[in-house]
Amino acid sequence: MCLVKQGFKRLHYPIEVILVCLRWYLAYSLSLRNLEEMRQERGIDVDHSTIHRWVLRLTPKLARVARKKRKIHGGTWYLDETYIRIKGKWHYLYRAVEASGETIDFVLSQKRNKKSALRFLRKAIHQNTYPMGVNIDKSGANRAALMSLNQGELGIKIRQCRYKNNIVEQDHRFIKKRYRAMLGFKTYRTAKVLLEGIETLHMLHKQQIPINGQVIRPVDAFYALVT
């Protein structure tokens, strides 16, 4: 069944209109009012608040479908966190990529400490597999979390080489660019949902979510996931 039909019992707009708004908002540096104006130019009168409701309702479903299809990564991970402002307060988005830049996993956290890093690592391992090694910056919290995992005899090699973490720091830029266009987040829940959507579209752009075993264009992969 179409993802949109799963998310809404009564549709007052064509499915194609809803899906285009969802993809454009998560993939490009557009505000909700930008989308409202763009739709009006095509003769479609839809309020920006309605688009926002579509995005919040459908994004978790899109991310759940994509998560089941994405590639699994072991090897070496590059772990870092970046700042995200929510209602005037700084939060932290933990992210990890592998050597070619493909996203391994991500977690939004209210704090940056050992407990948060450990929660991220456990989630990433559960969604993927055990890494051979993890490269981090000089963060003591991240190192402490990895050492805690190694007490269970996982044997993950810990490397602290800042310049090698450029790969994940560069990857942060796409997320930050899209986040700024949204003019910040008002609630933790909204931030969590929208960041999950941004990360999912970013993974589609990097062609790391195969469809029926094949790598296809990002736009085609998106519609294959939601229809």
Please give the full DSSP string across 24-83, using - where no structure is assigned. Answer: HHHHSS--HHHHHHHHHHTT----HHHHHHHHHHHHHHHHHHHHHHSPP--SEEEEEEEE
Query: Averaged in consecutive runs of 10 residues, what is the pLDDT profile of the chain (227 residues)?
Result: 70 88 94 94 94 94 91 91 92 95 96 96 94 91 93 83 87 87 87 96 94 91 89
pLDDT of residue 72: 86
Residues 175/93, Cβ–Cβ less than 8 Å: yes
pLDDT of residue 184: 78
98-130 pLDDT tens trace = 999 999 999 999 999 999 999 999 999 999 999
pLDDT of residue 25: 95
**pTM metric for this prediction:** 0.92
pLDDT of residue 10: 72
Domains of the chain with CATH codes: 3-70+209-226 (no CATH), 76-177 (3.30.420.10)
List, in sequence order, every residue forming a beta bridge with 159; answer none if it has no partner.
Answer: 135
In angstroms and rounded to an integer, the radius of gyration of the C-alpha atoms of the chain is 18
pLDDT of residue 153: 61
Burial of 91 (0-12, 13-18, 19+ CB in 10 A): buried
